[in-house]
Chains A and B, each alone.
Chain A
Amino acid sequence: MEKNRPNIDQLIQSSFDAFEPQLPIGIWNNIEDKLNQNDASKRKKVLTWSSVAAVVFIGLSGMFYSNIPDNATVDHKTGIKISNTELKSGSFENKLSQSLPIGNGNSDLDLNDVDLNNSLDNKDVKTTGKKLVVENNRNITEIASINKNSVVPNLFDINQEPILTQENYENMNEANFDFLNSKKLGLINTKILQLPASSQIPQRPTKQKRSIWAFEVGYDQNQTAINYAVNTQLSKYVHKNFVNRIKEGEFALAAPQLHAALRYQFNPNWSVAIGLGFSQTRISQSFNFQDSTPVSMAQGNEADINGNYPIFGYVGLGMPVAYNGNQSISMVSIPLSVGYQRPINRSWAFSSEISMRFNKLLTTTGKTLDYHDLSLMDVPNYRSQIWSAKLSIGAEKRVSLRDIWGVRLNTQGALTPFNSVNSPVSNRGWSIGMSVFYRYSIW
């Protein structure tokens, strides 16, 4: 404090010596509130900065940890990693003994016996009992990523059907990948294929490989009908009402057909197939006819002793005839087919096929009228071979990498008549029905 202050200063100063003003009411409460606010603010700041520090610490620790070189030893037989601690303590022997190959061949391991923590990425897979569960939305790339420790699982679908094996994986084509992506990979078999530790996981093939061959079997259930035709050169012998009446009396039976084929796939859309089939066509006809004298009706009978072909007169004075004819024709076929498939989604595809079939008639039985005595007689004039064609349209569903089921509507018909050339009346069968087929891809 400076000395020799003027009197005015001392006077003013001394006037406040005994001055004790009264504190305003509530001032202490205000101070206390403000102190509490400051404390809360301080705590908030401390918490915020502590959180920031923790995040930075964890981040830096993670970076540091990830940069620590992996000194784990890999067992060359099982591919299982052994840490330095396990190596020193000797516990690795127990670990390896539990992981020795069992099951089919030396390369199969039971998942229960494999240390998944070391073999697979924990982030991608988890074990539930004996099942290895993969997330449903996983695609094949991600599946491949779980194999980074040289372990490739054999993937099985929910029905325990194999959908991916090591061998298949290396030969998969684009469609298979797409299919696999669409699968609900809920379960994976407990067996995994163990590769040598030095093995590289096969990468998705850059060059597209196709499964170009497939084996196929199918069954058609059709309803037949008959197209009747009159030989133009012999039409003068055929009563004009005959064809109408025979059509009215027609009753067609089913025509089942079995076939097996080998299919070659040009590309994902187009394919050709050659096969072997067996079919049977049965036809029943029943009608009454009364016409001229001489009464003669028989499909394709040869000329009678007078040189006349079986004809139907015009007067209608003939005897009434109740006709009940049955025909049964069995054939073996060699179908040549062109198929077209167009994927709708990863499982379903539009499916169509057109085929030309060469048919060898094996057995033919039929009855017709002997115009001489109006008795039934065997039809003698079937051809030995005919051509037929088939068109089918439907859908097919891929149920696994190899298996496809399909269903189609089809129509097929004989391109050549069943009866011989000299028949005044001949028929061509045609049918409409439904087909089911199964195709097994050969990799």
Chain B
Amino acid sequence: MYGHCLRYAGNVEEAQDVLQDGFIKVFEKISSLKDANALEGWMSRIFINLALSYYRKKKSGPDWVEMEPLQEVLSEENDIPNNDLDPKLVLKQIQSLPEKYRLVLNAYAIDGLSHKEIADLLETTESNTKSILSRARKMMRDWLNEKDNKK
């Protein structure tokens, strides 16, 4: 769960705050868990929701202005280098993304939430999350390409 927090948070301190609040929420709600086998998924969802809410409620949080979609992103999908990635480097790159890019990329690309769920949690539109996701992917792809070129 700490990994979830690190991905969504911009730094370690914020990650610890989210982790702490997340576990408290888990202990408070543990009685509502009906299937013990679903504990991990249930906890993950709590931490994800909490992380998204955390940044949504932050006064200095992201400004969810509608963004134009990037049409050229999908055509470059096959150009991604297929190398083994060091998770610490990926984490560092994700944390360096602008906040709204980081949140949407984590929620959609890694944790598998739908655009509708993300839009609801972040109180914005699906088209906006899609546009943000495209830009986030492009930034990550650029980073991977740049990393590959250096090799």
Say yes or no: B24 contacts A38, CB within 8 Å. Answer: yes
Interface string of B1-38 (1 = CB under 8 A from A): 01100110000100010011001100110000000000
In the complex formed, the residue of B with least CB distance to A37 is: B24
Say yes or no: A6 contacts B85, CB within 8 Å. Answer: no
Interface of B is mostly: helix
A42 to chain B, nearest CB (A): 10
Contacts A6-B137, A24-B16, A34-B24 given; indicate if A15 touches B87 (C-beta within 8 A).
yes
Please tell me which one of the listed residues B16, B27, B86 contacts residue A27 in the complex, with CB atoms under 8 A apart.
B16
Say yes or no: A31 contacts B109, CB within 8 Å. Answer: no
Interface string of B81-123 (1 = CB under 8 A from A): 0101111101100100000000001001110101000000000
Please tell me which one of the listed residues A9, A12, A34 contacts residue B20 in the complex, with CB atoms under 8 A apart.
A34
**For residue A16, which residues in chain B have a CB less than 8 angstroms away from its CB?**
3, 7, 87, 90-91, 110
Interface residues of B in 58-87 (CB under 8 A from A): 74, 77-78, 80, 82, 84-87
> Which of A2, A15, A18 has most B Cβ within 10 Å?
A15
Interface residues of A in 14-58 (CB under 8 A from B): 14-16, 18-21, 23-24, 27, 30-31, 34-35, 38
| Residue B141 is within 8 A (CB to CB) of chain A in the complex | yes
Cα A14 to Cα B20 in complex, Å, equals 26
**For residue B19, which residues in chain A have a CB less than 8 angstroms away from its CB?**
23, 27
Please tell me which one of the listed residues A15, A23, A34, A38 contacts residue B85 in the complex, with CB atoms under 8 A apart.
A15
| Residue A1 is within 8 A (CB to CB) of chain B in the complex | yes
| Residue B43 is within 8 A (CB to CB) of chain A in the complex | no
Cα A34 to Cα B108 in complex, Å, equals 31
**For residue A5, which residues in chain B have a CB less than 8 angstroms away from its CB?**
109
**For residue A23, which residues in chain B have a CB less than 8 angstroms away from its CB?**
2, 19
Say yes or no: B16 contacts A7, CB within 8 Å. Answer: no
Please tell me which one of the listed residues A9, A21, A27 contacts residue B109 in the complex, with CB atoms under 8 A apart.
A9
Cα A7 to Cα B83 in complex, Å, equals 12
Please tell me which one of the listed residues B12, B87, B90 contacts residue A24 in the complex, with CB atoms under 8 A apart.
B12
B86 to chain A, nearest CB (A): 7
Please tell me which one of the listed residues A1, A2, A15 contacts residue B90 in the complex, with CB atoms under 8 A apart.
A15
Say yes or no: B24 contacts A35, CB within 8 Å. Answer: yes
For chain A, the bracket of interface size reads 20 to 34
Say yes or no: B7 contacts A6, CB within 8 Å. Answer: no
| Residue B140 is within 8 A (CB to CB) of chain A in the complex | yes
Say yes or no: B2 contacts A21, CB within 8 Å. Answer: yes
Say yes or no: B80 contacts A30, CB within 8 Å. Answer: no
**For residue B114, which residues in chain A have a CB less than 8 angstroms away from its CB?**
1-2
**For residue A11, which residues in chain B have a CB less than 8 angstroms away from its CB?**
80, 82, 85, 144
Cα A35 to Cα B97 in complex, Å, equals 33
Say yes or no: A31 contacts B87, CB within 8 Å. Answer: no
B46 to chain A, nearest CB (A): 14
**For residue B80, which residues in chain A have a CB less than 8 angstroms away from its CB?**
7-8, 11
Cα A16 to Cα B2 in complex, Å, equals 12
Please tell me which one of the listed residues B3, B78, B141 contacts residue A21 in the complex, with CB atoms under 8 A apart.
B3
**For residue B82, which residues in chain A have a CB less than 8 angstroms away from its CB?**
7, 11
**For residue B85, which residues in chain A have a CB less than 8 angstroms away from its CB?**
11-12, 14-15
Cα A9 to Cα B110 in complex, Å, equals 7
Say yes or no: B109 contacts A12, CB within 8 Å. Answer: yes
**For residue B108, which residues in chain A have a CB less than 8 angstroms away from its CB?**
2, 9
Cα A271 to Cα B87 in complex, Å, equals 115
Residue contacts A-B, CB under 8 angstroms, 14 given = A1-B112, A2-B112, A6-B137, A9-B137, A13-B110, A15-B84, A16-B91, A18-B87, A20-B3, A21-B3, A24-B12, A30-B20, A31-B20, A38-B24
